[in-house]
């Protein structure tokens, strides 16, 4: 699905990481850990084509991200659902409308599509909040709404950036269960987190690989987790 080959990234000449090679095969579940500032968010941005590698190659669904034209980028982005660290909702739109936004943007506004939104809100446990506005949601509810929005276009890949960052343990586990369910449906998952307890809980249920970004390098984390 997504492949990085000897990738380096620099912000204005300052190298953040280098020699990063990584494959996210279909149906795989990866965690990305590492200290704050190590470059986890940046690496995720390379994985959905928001940033281009300074050197090395990023392949999205088999094609070099650098060679993508606008249509190809749009197409690749549609196959990748992203749960951003800060959720970014439109506060004047209801939860339903926020989750439906990607459908609207794609011109899909039929009743059938709205039924799909309400099914999805049911799945993440937000049926009651469907008509509320984002500022009225708790942290856990926001994250689940963000996950619903990320999967509304039925992406093949889901990238989640510290989705449990501000959540208590019960809410974190609830979100993890949703991610595991998506993985069991065949979705490819990459979760950036420094919550090792969450990673251990996931390992008990699915086969995952844990990657660690530190000192500019990406390593496979060992059995110490
Ligand atoms: N747009 C940017 N311009 C310059 N530096 C940035 C930018 N975005 C992030 N950085 C820097 O790159 C480093 C890695 O950031 P980030 O990828 O967000 O790390 P992480 O998600 O692991 O905390 C940080 O030192 C951050 O300040
Ligand atoms: Mg980050």
Q: Does ligand 1 lie within 6 Å of residue 67's CB atom? A: no
Q: Is the domain of 35 the same as that of 72?
A: yes
Supply angle C-alpha 46, 48, 52, rounded to 5: 35
Q: Please state the pTM of the whole predicted model.
A: 0.93
Kindly report the three-state secondary structure assignment for every residue of 90-117. Answer: CCCCCHHHHHHHHHHHCCCCCHHHHHHH
Q: Is the domain of 65 the same as that of 169?
A: yes
Calculate the alpha carbon distances from 208 to 95, 189, 197, 215 in Å: 31, 9, 14, 23
The string of pLDDT tens digits covering residues 105-120 is 777 777 777 888 999 9
Q: Is the domain of 107 the same as that of 58?
A: no
CATH of the domain at 13: 3.40.50.300
Q: Does ligand 1 lie within 6 Å of residue 42's CB atom? A: yes
What's the number of CA atoms in the CB half-sphere (13 Å) around residue 3? 10
For residue 216, the ligand closest to its alpha carbon is 1
The string of pLDDT tens digits covering residues 28-50 is 999 999 999 999 999 999 999 99
Pairing label, strands 157-161, 188-192: parallel
Residue nearest to atom 17 of ligand 1 (CA): 39
Closest atom of ligand 1 relative to the 43 alpha carbon? 17
Q: Does ligand 1 lie within 6 Å of residue 68's CB atom? A: no
pLDDT at position 8 over 80: yes
Say whether 15 sits in a helix, a strand or coil.
strand
The string of pLDDT tens digits covering residues 62-105 is 989 998 888 888 888 889 999 998 878 999 999 999 999 888 87
Ranges of beta strands (E only) in the chain are 2-11, 14-24, 29-33, 55-60, 63-64, 80-83, 157-161, 188-192, 209-214, 217-220
- Percent share of the chain, pLDDT over 90: 72
Q: What are phi and psi of 114, to 5 degrees?
A: -65, -35
**What does the pLDDT read at residue 225?**
64
Q: Is the domain of 117 the same as that of 137?
A: yes
Residue nearest to atom 27 of ligand 1 (CA): 37
> What's the number of domains the chain is made of?
2
Instruction: Report the first-to-last Cα separation within the chain, whole angstroms.
Output: 26
Calculate the alpha carbon distances from 7 to 21, 51, 101, 191 in Å: 6, 12, 33, 19
Q: Is the domain of 90 the same as that of 75?
A: no
CB 158 within 8 A of CB 192: no
CA 55: distance to chain centroid?
23
Mutate which of 8, 13, 41, 43 for ligand 1? The one with the most ligand atoms within 8 Å of its CB, which is: 41
Which residues are paired to 29 by β-bridges? 189
Among 171, 172, 189, CA closest to 180:
189
The CA distance from 134 to 95, in Å, is 6
Task: Report the separation in Å between the CA atom of 108 and the middle of ligand 2, taken as the mean of its atom positions.
Answer: 32
Task: Report the separation in Å between the CA atom of 35 and the middle of ligand 2, taken as the mean of its atom positions.
Answer: 9
Mutate which of 39, 48, 84 for ligand 1? The one with the most ligand atoms within 8 Å of its CB, which is: 39
The string of pLDDT tens digits covering residues 177-190 is 999 999 999 999 99
Q: Is the domain of 15 the same as that of 115?
A: no
What mean pLDDT value characterizes the chain? 92
Range of the domain at 3: 1-79+155-225
> Rounded to the nearest 10 degrees, how much is the dihedral formed by the CA atoms of 196, 88, 146, 105?
-140
């Amino acid at each position: 699905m997504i492949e990085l080959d000897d990738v380096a990234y620099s912000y204005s000449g300052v190298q953040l990481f280098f020699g990063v090679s990584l494959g996210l095969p279909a149906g795989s579940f990866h965690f990305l850990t590492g200290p704050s500032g190590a470059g986890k968010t940046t690496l995720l941005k390379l994985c959905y084509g928001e940033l281009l590698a300074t050197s090395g190659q990023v392949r999205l669904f088999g094609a070099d991200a650098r060679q993508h034209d606008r249509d190809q980028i749009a197409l690749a982005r549609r196959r990748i659902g992203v749960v951003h660290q800060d959720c970014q909702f439109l506060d004047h739109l209801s939860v339903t409308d926020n989750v439906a936004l990607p459908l609207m943007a794609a011109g899909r506004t039929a009743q059938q599509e709205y039924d799909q939104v309400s099914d999805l809100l049911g799945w993440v446990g937000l049926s009651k909040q469907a008509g509320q506005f984002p500022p009225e949601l708790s942290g856990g509810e926001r994250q689940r709404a963000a996950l619903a929005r990320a999967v509304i276009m039925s992406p093949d890949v889901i990238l989640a950036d510290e989705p449990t960052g501000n959540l208590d343990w019960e809410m974190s586990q609830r979100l993890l269960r949703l991610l595991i369910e998506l993985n069991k449906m065949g979705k490819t998952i990459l979760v950036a987190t420094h919550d090792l307890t969450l990673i251990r809980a996931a390992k008990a249920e699915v086969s995952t690989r844990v990657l660690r970004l530190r000192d500019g390098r990406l390593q496979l984390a060992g059995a110490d987790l």
